[in-house]
A and B are shown apart, each in its own frame.
Chain A
């Protein structure tokens, strides 16, 4: 399992503690196998020491490495079999969150969210021509696509299509993408449009950022003409639910790994002649951290379930998960840094890499405050 269970058990001496920090709820055998395959691949091919070497890599991930991940199914789970995809469990999203969680545990690089969002959008609402153009490259990992996110740029109708104006940022993998899915506001409501980053009027500018390997870009649209044939049926709000759900699962993986590292540390580190883990003041904080972690897990699971099944309450459940997990992830990691002592704020310790990912996830695809506002609007029955 690669968890801290043996270390914790050692602490208790003669009493064997058979405790798992992970609770696998209702996973099918196939899903467990699928998750284990991803975990083994990441352990061998994406250790944190390797992630560190990508700090200055412009893309943040090697193309060949992403192709191998795609071969494990990372990009095909939200695409029906008829279109070349396929999933393991009853819902592809239920499988995808397993990948996301594993990637979070090793703060893996790779454009998991944008590629899957675009693949799902095209598979669900794309024309046969769009599917043929876009899906094969995403499914085999040879191409990357980016989604401009839930915020909308302007789409002004023209004779045969639209003209796009506006700016989107931060766009995950925007500078690595061979194709952009743009959320836009048309006269009849929100719409989705496929654009090439090299089209005239599109400017993609890579941005610096907090995460070591997750790259974002600013994308500008200066009167970009797009034909009607570039419109993909679908609603940006639905894609946001998928993106947030996958992101929440990744953050939970981040939290879980940091929590395990901290339990190990408290067991191994002694002060005043006893392990840190024996101090009640610290044990009680660890108990609170554990509570936040389990609640985050519960929220992420609920988000995945409601989005996968199209539950009408999904938007509220997802916003609750984003608000809860976003804040508690950084709270938990910062507390774990405190429990580590001075080593926790060094470059060489991995904790800050996890904190970077959790902080980025907290503030992208909607901040906790924005999602909380959505929950309040729903409760008050308005949309202000």
Chain B
């Protein structure tokens, strides 16, 4: 490993460069990202690229720096005081780009990875379908081969910000005569093209980030198959590993703090409720406040442990499910604590005001989203018990059955959501 810059030298160089180049951290970054902020972040990513600090753990051959996780950690630590392209981390840099690194062809990587690292391409994943979420391998979107192209038909759902993204990794069925896991293929799909319709879904908190896509005879070149035809499950499984690691906070491909995990604001809101609500002398309130803080601390310690364990090989990749489950259950508990401390302040506020009580009330409505997105808590518990602890797998009626013959329930496309497909 000669010739690699020592971490501390790299850190010092990064510190100086950050101070000269990056704007200060704006205090808070909303989860709901607007167009202006997105373009701003693309620009920040471009600055990282121009300064030679983009893609620290990505292969040098494809525009990255080819450095170690320790270099990335050092950079993230140094970047604390600065504004960073936080939202490019999830899903583009942490989930999709690493999957391309693992399974993309040389040509695909050359075409996309440098563009991603320059902030020019935003990516999403097209995995879940309206017919079912947890049974990912049971997907019904089909891709039928026609010479040099595959023709894509079907629908995908729960893709974050697909309407403003550029490319997707899309899992589709290419073979109906084999068991479900063996008939899937992963494709690179350009989102904005004829035949692809993207609609936004209004979430309960009013946000419009989630999308549903419809494919009508969309031609996908065979050269955009990632991995092997009919081996898309291998690629999808790897993508899910990257997703768990990124969402859990253990990815080596993301740079800068993860605003989804940045609980400074939530902490401040809890503190404000205790102080302003006259609860500073209330032993019960103090216990609740401490519980939130302790969960946050222990959560970050768990990230350190699991990341180190996976890095050294002492823990297998499914250990990422521990981080995902801890994050999700922590959010559930923190939201409960928030309501308990806020009381009626979470119900009403001066009209138009943004108060801690309002934020705690609104975020509590949303609390199960992290327990659902990226694999539900139930799926994480399956992964932990079956793949980490080796307990017997759930019996599956569709195992070893050609997918054509698998029973799919009375309403194949029913998802219980009253939302009609847009007319073309």
Q: A372-B291, A380-B286 are in contact. Are A290 and B315 (CB under 8 A)?
A: no
User: Who on chain A is nearest to B383 by CB?
Assistant: A287
Pairwise interchain contact B308-A26, C-beta atoms closer than 8 A: yes
Within 8 A of A (CB), among B15-67: none
Min CB distance, A341 to chain B, in Å? 17
Bound form: Cα–Cα A23–B311 in Å: 12
A19 to B390, Cβ gap below 8 A? Answer: yes
* Beta-carbon contact of A12 and B392 below 8 Å: yes
B159-167, B204-212, B273-281: which lies at the interface: B273-281
Q: Which residues of B contact A295 (CB under 8 A)?
A: 298-299, 301-302, 326
Given that A8-B390, A19-B316, A320-B298 are contacting pairs, would A298 and B304 also be in contact in the complex, using a CB cutoff of 8 Å?
A: yes
> Is B287 a contact partner of A372 (Cβ separation < 8 A)?
yes
Segment touching B, from A72-80, A110-118, A274-282: A274-282
Is residue B378 contacting chain A, with contact meaning CB distance below 8 A? Answer: yes
Judge whether B389 and A373 touch: CB under 8 Å: no
Q: How far apart sit A321 and B380, CA to CA, in the bound complex (Å)?
A: 24
B391 to chain A, nearest CB (A): 5
Is A317 part of the binding interface, using a Cβ–Cβ cutoff of 8 Å? yes
Q: Is the CB of A283 within 8 A of B271?
A: no
Q: Most chain-B Cβ atoms within 10 A of its Cβ — which of A20, A280, A286, A384?
A: A280
A-contact bits for B275-305, CB 8 A (1 contact / 0 none): 1000011010011011101110111011011
Residue of A266, A320, A372, A382 touching B391 (CB-CB under 8 A)? A266
B308 touches A375 (CB 8 A): no
Q: How far is the CB of B175 from chain A (nearest CB, A)?
A: 24
- On whether the beta carbons of B289 and A278 are closer than 8 Å, the reply is no
B385 contacts the other chain (CB 8 A): yes
Check B290 against A323 for contact (C-beta < 8 Å): yes
Chain A contact patch, size range:
35 or more
Tell me whether B298 and A298 are in contact (CB under 8 A): yes
Residues of B within 8 A of A283 (CB): 381-382, 385-386, 391
Contact A287 B380 (CB under 8 A): yes
Set of chain B residues within 8 Å of A317, measured between Cβ atoms: 297
Q: A294-B306, A298-B305, A317-B297 are in contact. Are A278 and B392 (CB under 8 A)?
A: yes
Instruction: Report the separation of the CA atoms of residues A374 and B289 in the bound assembly, to the nearest whole angstrom.
Output: 11
Interface check B325, CB cutoff 8 A: yes
Distance in Å: Cβ of A182 to nearest Cβ of chain B: 30
The answer to whether B286 and A373 have CB atoms under 8 Å apart is yes
Q: Which residues of B contact A373 (CB under 8 A)?
A: 283, 286-287, 290
A89 to B415, CA, bound (A): 57
Query: Smallest CB–CB gap between A32 and chain B, Å?
Result: 12
* Residues A280 and B394 in contact, CB atoms below 8 Å apart: yes
B301 contacts A298, C-beta separation under 8 Å: yes
Return chain A residues, CB-CB under 8 Å to B381.
283-284, 287-288
Which of A290, A324, A377 is most buried by chain B, counting CB atoms within 10 A of its CB?
Answer: A290
Q: Which A residues lie within 8 Å of B271 (CB)?
A: 379-380
Q: Are B392 and A275 in contact (CB under 8 A)?
A: yes
Contact of B390 with A12 in the complex, beta carbons under 8 Å = yes
Q: A17 and B390: CB pair below 8 A?
A: yes
Known interface pairs A9-B390, A11-B391, A266-B391. Does A23 touch B315 (Cβ–Cβ under 8 Å)? yes
Contact, CB under 8 Å: B389 / A19: yes
Are the C-beta atoms of A263 and B389 separated by less than 8 Å?
yes
CB of A23 within 8 A of CB of B287, answer no
- Are B293's CB and A375's CB within 8 A? yes
Within 8 A of B (CB), among A11-67: 11-12, 17, 19-20, 23-26
- Decide: A298 and B294 in contact? CB cutoff 8 A: no
A291 pairs with B274, CB closer than 8 A: no
Does A8 lie within 8 Å of B302, measured CB to CB? no
Report how far A17 CA is from B316 CA in the complex, Å. Answer: 11
Q: Is residue A70 contacting chain B, with contact meaning CB distance below 8 A?
A: no
Scan residues 375-423 of chain B and give those whose CB is less than 8 A from a CB of chain A: 378, 380-382, 384-386, 388-392, 394
When chains A and B are docked, how far (Å) is the Cα of A12 from the Cα of B388? 12
Q: Contacts of A267 on B, CB cut-off 8 Å?
A: 391
Asked if A301 is at the interface (CB within 8 A of a chain B CB), the reply is yes
Complex: how many Å from CA A23 to CA B286? 34
- Across the interface, name the chain B residue whose C-beta is closest to A299: B298
A278 to B385, CA, bound (A): 10
Rounded to whole Å, the gap between the CB of B109 and the closest CB of chain A is 31
* B391 adjacent to A286 (CB under 8 Å): yes
Please, which residues of chain B bring their CB within 8 A of the CB of A280? 382, 394
Known A263-B389, A379-B271: A291·B293 in contact at CB below 8 Å: no
Task: Report the Cα distance A275→B394, complex, angstroms.
Answer: 12
Q: Kindly identify, within residues 312 to 349 of chain A, every residue whose CB is under 8 Å from any CB belonging to chain B.
A: 316-317, 319-321, 323-324
Cα distance, A363 to B241, chains bound together (Å) = 39
Chain A contacts of B306 at CB under 8 A? 294, 298
Task: Kindly state the separation between the CA atoms of A294 and B382 in the bound complex, as whole angstroms.
Answer: 17
Q: Is B353 an interface residue (CB 8 A)?
A: no
How far, in whole Å, are A259 and B220 apart by their CA atoms in the complex? 50
Within 8 A of A (CB), among B297-332: 297-299, 301-302, 304-306, 308-309, 312, 314-316, 322, 325-326, 329
Decide if B302 touches A372 in the complex (CB within 8 Å): no
Given the known A-B contacts A298-B298, A298-B305, A301-B305, are A277 and B391 also in contact in the complex, defined by CB atoms under 8 Å?
Answer: yes
Give the chain B neighbours of A132 by CB distance below 8 A.
none
CA distance A275 to B291 in the complex (A): 37
3 nearest interchain CB pairs? Answer: A17-B390, A283-B385, A372-B290
Q: What are 25 A-B pairs with beta-carbon distances under 8 A?
A: A19-B388, A19-B390, A23-B315, A25-B312, A263-B391, A267-B391, A275-B392, A278-B392, A286-B385, A286-B391, A290-B388, A291-B384, A298-B304, A298-B306, A302-B297, A320-B294, A320-B297, A372-B294, A373-B290, A374-B290, A376-B289, A379-B271, A379-B290, A380-B271, A382-B280
- Other CB < 8 Å A-B pairs besides A284-B385, A298-B302, A373-B287, 17 of them? A11-B391, A19-B389, A19-B390, A277-B391, A283-B382, A284-B378, A284-B382, A290-B322, A290-B389, A291-B325, A295-B302, A320-B294, A369-B287, A372-B291, A376-B287, A379-B293, A380-B271
